[in-house]
Structure 1
Amino acid sequence: MTVQHQILVSKPVQSTMANRRCIQTLTQQLYKSKLRPNPPSSLQHLRTLVLIPNLPPKPLNPKSHHMFSTPNFNASLTNFTTYRHFSSDRRDDSDGSEEDDSEYDDDDEMEQNPESSVVKKEYSQEERESEAAAIGYKVIGQLQRSDRVFKLYEPVFAVIQIGAHQFKVSNGDCIYTEKLKFCEVNAKLILNKVLMLGSKTQTMIGRPVLPGAAVHAVVEEHALDAKVIIFKKKRRKNYRRTKGHRQELTKLRITDIQGIEKPEMPTPVKKVEKAAVAA
């Protein structure tokens, strides 16, 4: 950098410092003239700076986000205060950011109220059976008081598929799946997607499903899983959204496994206590 460039760069800095010194000296002299009852003639002309005319206040723009209080010119300079109230951190000239935020808000409203935008579809009996078969179950009716579906434990297990999840179950087990449509509490189901059956003596593996196998179950309740917090953020966009989600679940109780020979359980033999013979 040459000497001329250095001089050109330093000139605005020097002029700024000189203006700052002049303003500082002027305010000091003005303050001294206010404190002295009879100031000298050199400070007499500074009293005219204190007499500020009462101008009518300018009307504020209602669209502006900044609100200013009217200053009190009659008070001393040391007690001069100004208050500002900010209603938002957005700028007036940032039209693009406001449009982007409005788009995000619309998306969030759609996510928060999915039921308002989605109309419930009415299914026919054939459509219900086809959709249930695609998931992997079939509704055969409601559980009655006279039904004896709950049996004793049998040493047989099965691997079943419900939707996209697989479960290893035995007679009397309880499993939680995603909420199953078209079935209410105490409904009897047949889980027909059986991938594997096994016992102590044999094992049967499907390719991919065993044709003659079935697992019977009963719907005990429809419940909600623990809450999961979903937090979204976009850097430098003032965009943060927090939302919770609870997955709907269905509780199933396995009642019977069919399609494999079940070994008989040995019946426990009760020991007969010998009566003590009195001598």
Structure 2
Amino acid sequence: MANRRCLQALTRRALALFSTNPPFQSPSSLPVLRALTSKSPLIFTNPDTTWSFHWSQTRHFSSDRNDDVNEDSEEEEDDDGDELGESSDDESVSRGGSKREYTPEEKEAEAAGIGYKVVGPLEKPDGVFKPYEPVFAVIQIGSHQFKVSNRDSIFTERLKFCEVNDKLILNKVLLVGSSRQTMIGRPIVPDAAVHAVVEEHALDAKVLIFKKKRRKNYRRTKGHRQELTKLRIIDIQGIKKPEPVVTEKPSKAPGKKPEKVAVAA
């Protein structure tokens, strides 16, 4: 850069000098200069103590229209690349999560951290569905809390390591109550547990996500459907359940049938 600036300053002074003194240019040196200027843009010759000068003007612009177009296209490619990078990261995370193999100990520890334990598949002889009982509980699954009773169904985020018709034990019970007593945990009731069965793995309603960047011509619309798991509550343990009161209907006393009296004609 310094050499270029020096050459530019020198050429400006030389142009000013020769513009004021045009007779100093010798026509005899023009063919030689034409041959030499094809190789170098700036040449000074000194034949017969007379100066001859030839300058081929070249303009260097800091920016060009093509460069602007290229920059715009590069910005668009960068935006697309960011998008693709985000999607590829999400895909890589999902693929990595699906490809990873967990040991039984890791599965049990991760499920316990969420708040459940997989017991096993439900079998036909298991009479797990009981009639309604006047007992309720507040349970925690992940970061969500639910108030449940016997035979209720709830939707949670997709639970790992369980399939349809698997029996679960929900061990994070925050509160248990009935018509006679209520037990509040600090934060968990130690001897309480809620039993449930996995009924279905489903998808929630679609949520639209719209992204926009000002002055960038960037608009993206995406849809997301959250994976859910449907659970059926079958039993609540850890509290004394009131015995169901059976109300007997009073039996009707047998009434005397009226006797038919023959009417004389």
1:187 partner letter: D
Asked whether the 8 Å contact 1:110–1:117 carries over to 2, the reply is no
| TM-align CA RMSD | 2.1
1:137 aligned to 2:116? yes
Runs of 4 or more, structure 1, over 3 Å off, are 90-93, 111-119, 270-277
Counting only pairs closer than 5 Å after superposition, residues 109-124 of structure 1 correspond to structure 2 as 109-110=87-88, 113=91, 115=94, 120-124=99-103
- Per the alignment, in what secondary structure is the counterpart of residue 242 of structure 2? coil
1:261 aligned to 2:240? yes
1:100 aligned to 2:62? no
Matched residues in 2 for 1:130 and 1:116: separation? 22
Q: Residues 261 and 119 of structure 1: is their aligned pair in 2 closer, same or farther, counting only changes over 3 Å?
A: closer
Q: Residues 116 and 264 of structure 1: is their aligned pair in 2 closer, same or farther, counting only changes over 3 Å?
A: closer
Within the candidate set 219, 222, 228, 1:249 is matched to 228
Q: Residues 191 and 268 of structure 1: is their aligned pair in 2 closer, same or farther, counting only changes over 3 Å?
A: same
Superposed CA deviations along residues 77-109 of structure 1, whole A, max 9, x for unmatched, are: xxxxxxxxxxxxx93453552343243332354
After TM superposition, give the deviation of residue 232 of structure 1 in Å: 0.6
After TM superposition, give the deviation of residue 110 of structure 1 in Å: 2.0
1:171 aligned to 2:150? yes
Give the count of matched residue pairs.
190
Q: Residues 119 and 262 of structure 1: is their aligned pair in 2 closer, same or farther, counting only changes over 3 Å?
A: closer
Matched residues in 2 for 1:202 and 1:181: separation? 34
- Per the alignment, in what secondary structure is the counterpart of residue 83 of structure 2? helix
Q: Residues 147 and 264 of structure 1: is their aligned pair in 2 closer, same or farther, counting only changes over 3 Å?
A: same
Q: Unaligned 5+ residue runs, structure 2?
A: 1-67, 259-265
Counting only pairs closer than 5 Å after superposition, residues 42-191 of structure 1 correspond to structure 2 as 91-94=69-72, 96-110=74-88, 113=91, 115=94, 120-191=99-170
Q: Residues 173 and 93 of structure 1: is their aligned pair in 2 closer, same or farther, counting only changes over 3 Å?
A: closer
- Per the alignment, in what secondary structure is the counterpart of residue 160 of structure 2? coil
TM superposition score normalised by structure 2: 0.66
Matched residues in 2 for 1:211 and 1:193: separation? 9
After TM superposition, give the deviation of residue 160 of structure 1 in Å: 0.4
Q: Which has the larger radius of gyration?
A: 2
Q: Residues 169 and 256 of structure 1: is their aligned pair in 2 closer, same or farther, counting only changes over 3 Å?
A: same
